[in-house]
Amino acid sequence: MEDYSVDMKSKIEIAEKNLARLLEWVSRFDNKSIIILGVDTGMLGVLASFAPPLKPLSLAVIFVASLSLFFLGLSLLFIYLGSYPRTTGPKQSLLYWGCISQSSFLQYKDSFKDESDEEYLNDLLEQCYRNSEILDKKFTNLKWAYRMLFVGLLPWIITIYLFRVHP
């Protein structure tokens, strides 16, 4: 059986690539969430522009309009929850900006120079893990934003129709 042990330099390189890949997924989330945000906002704008005065509306129209607003609002809430910054991270990291900013430049420089390869690898792996946790929450919220947008589509269409035919 062959020995496939990987040296420390290779492990660090692999971990750095993994962290870079994970950080790329953050921008993928941002690109997708901006689309949902735009669609939600546009649909709410169309709803507002077609809305007749409130007094003569029937309960059925108010109900369907409320459903539409509810689901579009939930979609926006999930986009917000996914986009909200999660800034808790490792306490002693030399990679996480939150920790770096809490020390002086000289402290950071000295800590960086003194860090062993194993400590650096552990920091990288901790960053990979934490970013994976954050990405999991972001994409879970994005999935729910898509779902709420999809569920809200039918009441939105019905509401627009009812607003148009309402005397």
- Tell me the per-residue pLDDT of 81-130, one tens digit each, with 9 for 90 and over: 999 988 787 778 888 888 888 888 998 888 889 999 999 999 999 999 99
Domain spans in the chain, listed from the N-terminal domain onward: 27-45+57-165
Dihedral angle of Cα 40, 75, 19, 114, to the nearest 10 degrees: 110
Q: pTM of the entire structure?
A: 0.84
CB contact set of 127 (below 8 Å; sequence gap of 6+): 19, 89, 90, 93, 95, 96
- Tell me the per-residue pLDDT of 74-85, one tens digit each, with 9 for 90 and over: 999 999 999 998
Query: What pLDDT does 5 receive?
Result: 65
Contact 27, 83 (CB under 8 A): no
